[in-house]
Every structure is written in C-alpha cells, then in structure tokens.
Chains A and B, each alone.
Chain A
Amino acid sequence: MSRILTFVFRRRGHGGRWHWTDIATWIWLIGGTILMFGPALWLVASSFKGPAQLAEFPPTLLPYIQQTAVVEGYDAPLPLYTATLEDGSVEVLAEIRRIGVNSQMVDPENPGERINVNIADRSPVREIGFATGNYVEPLVANNFLRFLWNSVFVTTMATLITLLTNSMAAFALSKYRFRGRDAVMLLIVATLMVPLSVILVPLYSVVNATGLLNTLWGVILPTVATPTGVFLLRQYMLTIPDELLEAARMDHASEWQIYWRIVLPLAAPALAVLAIFSVVWRWNDFLWPLIVLSQREHYTLQVGLNTYAGELNVQWHYILAMTVVTMIPVVLVFVFLQRFITTGIAGAGIK
C-alpha cells in the first residue's frame, strides 16, 4: 500500500535502495524547510527583541538582552561588558557611565577601583533573553480580547459564507447546463482582475450606501463572493463523476440534497483548501477592515495591530509580536484542515 502512494519518481526508489529522486526529494525538503521556515522562525525570534535590538546591525539570530550585575555601591544594576584592557588582558567589567569615547568601568569583584576603557575596546556581555513586554503590553493595553473576538467572528462567518455560497455557485457552474453559464463564469473570472486596493473607493461608497460601515458585516460581505473560491471549487467539482449525482437523483434526493450530501463531502479536499485560504485571507485581511472599521470596538486583530504603524515611526517590536500571536490560530486551522486535502476520493465509487 505504502508504495502505491509513492509517486512519479518512484520508479527505482523502492526496494530499499536510494534512488536519485529520493535524494533530490530530501534535498528539496530540507532546503525548502530552511528557506521557507528559517525566515519565519527568525521572525518569531525577532518578535522577542526589544526595539533597540530590532534596529541593530547586523541583526542577530536570537533575541539577546545585556547582562547586568549588581555592584556594591551602586543602586541600579550595571551593564556588563567584556573589555580589553591596556595590558591586553580581557575581563568582564561593569560600566558605571560612558563619557564620550571613554567608558568608566568597574570590576564587579573589586568595586573600589575604576577603570577607563575606550569604547572601541569593549563589547557587551549578552545572553539570550526575551523581551516579553512586546507581547504583554499590547495584550494588556489594547482590548486584545475584543479584537480577537472580532477577528474570530469575521473569519468564521466569512469562511462559512464563502464556503457555502462559493460551493453552491461552483456546483451550479460545474454540474448544470443552462443558458448563460459561460457568461457567468466569465464574469466571475473577469472580476478577479482588479485588485481590491484599486476599487477601494467605489467599494467604500457601496458599503456606505448599504449602511454596513463600521460593522463587522461590512468587513465580511464584500470579501465572501471571492471569484477565486468559485473558480477553484468549480474546477475541482468538474472531476466528480456525474454518475454519483444521478445515483442520488434515483435515490429521490432533491438537487439541494445532492449538493449538500454528495457534492460537498466529495469536494472536501477543495473545500479544505478554500477553507484554509479563506481563514488565512480573512484573518490577515488588513486593508479592507481598515477602511470599513474606524471605531475601536470593531477592530479586528490586524487593524489593532497596525495602530503601531505611525507616520514617521513604526513600532516594529509590537507589530512583530502581535503578528506572531495572530499567526497561531491560523496555523492551528491549517494543521487541522490540511489532512482533508490528502484524500482524493471522488473517483473511488466508480468502477
């Protein structure tokens, strides 16, 4: 069974020996993992960096904070540095203050004696540490739960409606012959062409006219009729054998039941794909909610997150942290849904 699953390149791959395709596969996978996941992991690591460290050149891989030591005679903990002394020896010293290019330092073991070090000859002692404030502060300060709820609401409703309406339309477009079918299909595909960011103003006018401004439905509705979804589902449903529908018709099923009980379950892989996309899109939607929602109680996470983007300064440390937080649910959804993609079962009922 297992080797039935193996694929195009499997020709000589089995039998225990390694075929070049196996090696290529693993090179691709490992390389891909580094390339795809590496930057993302780095993003997560960076989200624990303080603002200063984020701006730091060259960037570090991991978040660090400078070590400090409490030194006798000084109230505040002092930052630690490795300093190269005049005699060439290297020591860990605590800095009292820096004046120009000179750093006044003290040996934590021996607080009495002050040492002057040129700042070019010292480097901070740092250890991996997490600026958890990046997470805590926005979460505490910013009505986060409210935003979360709004996002969940928007994402869930939009995804459900998307799946429902798109699959219905795709069903009609793939399994019925009627006049104007090609025209409808064409229309739907044609509207893929203009990006949302371009028709924002007209769309705003429409949403304004329908009274949906500053409501979550104003965020949900314009996005659910996504032509992409219809297109995707239709193409998949074309591969579902008509005979199954006919069998159901013979079983006294109404067209609605055929759609609901036969076509929908069989389109599960495509639906899962669309559901994943929809969740990702709606969850990450930013531009459109920004336009519709101008009142804090309606903000979605992404909108809330972007309040850290100012005119002249962007508080990246908060944005990164919140990006990571907002990513968690979608990752979970993906992990949950992706298993449905594996089953290409549509053809299985047919001889």
Chain B
Amino acid sequence: MAGFGKTLGRAVTWPLTLVARAVDPPLRVWQRWTGTGGMAAVFLAPNLAIFGVFVLIPLVLNFVYSMTGGTGILLDQRSFIGMEQYGRLLECEDYTRRITCREDQFWTAVTNTATFVIFQVTLMVTVSLITALILNRNIRGRGFFRAVFFFPVLLSPVVVGLIWRWILQRQGLLNLITVNLGLEPEVWLNDRFYAFAATVGVSTWAHMGFYTLILLAGLQAIPRDLYEAAEMDATPPMRVFRRITLPLLGPNFAVVLVLALIRGVQIFDEVYVLTGGGPGTSTLYLTQYIYEVGFASILRNPGLAAAASILMGAVLVVLTLLQLWFSRRAEGRRAR
C-alpha cells in the first residue's frame, strides 16, 4: 500500500517535475536580472493574476452594485443611486428597537449572527483544539480517528443540514432516544434556544474536522524537546498546554481563529436547510438575509444585498485585522 502510494505520488508529480525543471533556466536568467525582489514578483504573479480577475474584480463590482438600484441583474441595467442602499440598511427610527428599522430583518440577522459567531467560534476552537490534542497523542488507530473526525467535512452542507433535521425533527432520531429514555419528546427546532444551539452545534460538527486538521499540523511542528524540558521542570499538564503548546501553536491558531470567524459570519447552507432561520427569525443569519434579498425571490434587490455584504465584509476585515495584529505579536515570539 505504502509502496503503491509512493509510486502513485511519483506518477502524479513526474510531469510537474519536468515542468519545474523546464522553467528553471529562464527563471534563473530573470533572477540574475532582477534579483530576489523580482523573484518575489514571479512567485506572486500567477496567484495575483487569477486572484485579481476572479476575486478582486468581482469584489469591486460588488461594491459598485451596492450603489445601484432597481431589479436589473446586470450592471448596465441598473441605475446609480449612491449610498441609498446603505442608508436603507442602517435607517432606524429608534435604534433600541429593531422593529422600527427600515430593514428590521437585517438588524435581526446582524444580532443573531453576532451571537452565533461568539458561541460557535468558541465552541469550534475549543472542540477542534481538544480533538487535535487528542489525535496528536500516541494512540492506537490514530489514522482511523483522524478520518472519523474529518468525515463530516466531506459532506455537502445541504446533506449536513438534512441529516440533522432528520435527527432533530418532531419524530426524529433524537426524540426516539428521549422517548426511549422516558422523557417527553421535544420539537427541538421549534424552540428558540434549542434551534440556536442546533445551528451552533451542527455547524461545529460539520466543520471542526477542518480546523482540527490545521491545528494538528501545527502541533506536529512543535519540537518535542520543549515538552521534555517542561517535563523535567515538573510542569503540570495544563500549564504545559497554556504556556507551551498554545503559544507555539500561535500561527496555526491564528489561521483557525480567523477562518472560523470568517466562516462563522458567513454561515448559510446548513443552517438554511436545518432551521431555515427559524423559529421565527431567531436563527436568521446574515448570509441568509443577503441571499433572500438578493437571490431567493424573483424580485431581487441585488443592490441591497451587495450593500449588506459590503457591510458584513467591512466588519470582518476589522475583526480579522485585530486578530492578525494579535497573532503578529505572537509571531514575533515564534520559533528558535
């Protein structure tokens, strides 16, 4: 198996190796000509080119959209109306009462998302960290367990939402269990608290494998002798964890936090299938709001949706910068 894997790996990389060899001489000339600074440009170029065309331009277009009105889909069918969409999103008679806002659902979505992110990111990071730590231990069947925890990542969000709806619905698996335990069945998804908990739990269930994997890769990179030094110092396990593992996991931890945060704010598909934003609007999150405004109905309002997405992005950028700023401080301490 391992031998086969190696052969396979070689077969896959062989053409790439050839290509890599072929591009070396011209790049060497380029390097001599421009110095290493020029090489940085070479390394960045492909990514930035693709990135510019397929990410940056749409983003800019999206911004332009946010300043147009009407139901037209393409930009040339839309009229420029300036910042009106933003005004509409942010307009409230009484900012203490959501219901008085022009887009009360937007505000509902914002508060819901904020609560969701706080709980979900905390849970996600905790659970993935614990799992990564455990999977990093020298246990029998590590590979198997790693696969187990990663498995839900392989499922499409729609299927995730569906499975859990089947589990949580009135006559679902969970109630089958509660009834067998002699408890009253509960319509879980009709209860504000349970529904919210379900969105947090299910999204964690679905994505924790992703973060666990990142953290695991980070754990593997921590030199072992540090743990030995700590052991010689009779350091209690929790302290080793807090003072050595966590700080040295720093960069990976930053990745996880940033990504979890971003993806938490962007949560959509599985929740859409699972709770649809209910009960009432208690699990209505931002992306669903944007989706409904911009796409779901035939009377779409892409301008409003774009404006909402830009606002969401702006908040995320601020959060991420804060996060990166912290991790940069940690980065300064990194590695020998």
* Total A-B Cβ pairs within 8 A: 314
Residue of B40, B73, B316 touching A201 (CB-CB under 8 A): B73
A interface size (C-beta, 8 A): 111
Considering only residues 287-304 of chain A, those with a C-beta below 8 Å from chain B are 302
Shortest Cβ distance from residue B335 to the other chain A in the assembled complex, whole angstroms: 6
Contact (Cβ within 8 A) A239 B163: no
Indicate if A316 sits at the interface (CB-CB under 8 A): yes
Cβ of B83 within 8 Å of any chain A Cβ, yes or no, is no
Asked if B90 CB lies within 8 Å of chain A CBs, one says no
Report A-chain residues with C-beta under 8 Å of the C-beta of B240: 8
CA distance in complex: A40, B5 (Å):
27
B262 and A192 form a contact (CB under 8 A): yes
Contact A39 B217 (CB under 8 A): no
Q: Please tell me which stretch of B49-57, B98-106, B276-284 contacts chain A, meaning at least 4 of its Cβ atoms lie within 8 angstroms of it.
A: B49-57
Contact A323 B217 (CB under 8 A): no
- Smallest Cβ distance from B4 to chain A, in angstroms? 10
Flag whether B86 is at the interface (Cβ < 8 A).
Answer: no
Flag A32-47 by CB within 8 Å of B: 1 or 0 each.
Answer: 1101110110110010
Proximity bits, A224-254, B CB within 8 Å = 1, else 0: 1101101110011011010000000000001
Number of interface residues of B (CB under 8 A): 120
Whole-angstrom CA separation of A181 from B37 in the bound complex? 11
Q: Is the CB of B43 within 8 A of A259?
A: yes
Cross-chain contact B251 with A235 (CB below 8 angstroms)? yes
B134 & A188 in contact (Cβ 8 Å cutoff) = no
Question: Could you say which of A71-79, A82-90, A124-132, A273-281 contacts chain B?
Answer: A273-281
**Which of A94-102, A112-120, A133-141, A332-340 forms part of the interface with chain B?**
A332-340
Task: Give A204 Cβ to nearest chain B Cβ, in Å.
Answer: 9
Say whether A346 faces chain B, with CB atoms less than 8 Å apart.
yes
A172: interface (CB < 8 Å)? yes
- Inter-chain CA distance A224–B148, complex, in Å, is 27
Which one of B109-117, B191-199, B252-260 contacts A?
Answer: B252-260
Q: Cα distance A181–B57 when bound, in Å? A: 20
Evaluate whether A344 and B220 lie within 8 angstroms (CB atoms) in the complex, with A195-B268, A257-B24 already known. yes
| A149 located at the interface, meaning its Cβ lies under 8 Å from any Cβ of chain B in the complex | no
A188 partner residues in chain B, CB cutoff 8 A: 51
Shortest CB distance A349–B (Å)? 12
Measured between beta carbons, the chain A residues less than 8 angstroms from B131 are 28, 32
- Give A4 to B226 CA distance when docked, in angstroms: 11
B40 pairs with A178, CB closer than 8 A: yes
Report B-chain residues with C-beta under 8 Å of the C-beta of A46: 166
- Mark interface residues in A192-206 (1 if CB within 8 Å of B CB, else 0): 111101111111011
CB-based nearest B residue for A43: B163
B251 engages A9 (CB within 8 Å): no
Instruction: Indicate if the CB atoms of A3 and B138 lie closer than 8 Å.
Output: yes
Q: Determine if B172 is an interface residue (Cβ-Cβ < 8 Å).
A: yes
Kindly state whether residue B46 has any CB partner on chain A within 8 Å: yes
Cβ contact within 8 Å between A231 and B255: yes
Q: Does B28 contact A (CB under 8 A)?
A: yes
- Whether the Cβ atoms of B48 and A330 lie closer than 8 Å is no
- Identity of the chain B residue whose Cβ is nearest the Cβ of A195 in the assembled complex: B266
A7/B172 in contact, CB under 8 A: no
Asked if A157 lies at the interface with its beta carbon under 8 angstroms from chain B, I say no
B65 part of interface (Cβ distance < 8 Å)? yes
Across the interface, B62 reaches (CB within 8 A) one of A160, A166, A198, A241, namely A198
Q: Is A66 an interface residue when CB atoms closer than 8 A count as contact?
A: no
- A168 in contact with B47 (CB, 8 Å): yes
Kindly state the separation between the CA atoms of A74 and B22 in the bound complex, as whole angstroms.
76
A sample of 22 inter-chain contacts (CB < 8 A) reads: A2-B138, A8-B133, A9-B133, A40-B151, A59-B176, A172-B44, A188-B51, A190-B313, A192-B259, A193-B317, A195-B266, A199-B62, A201-B294, A205-B75, A207-B54, A225-B47, A232-B214, A239-B334, A256-B39, A343-B220, A344-B222, A347-B223
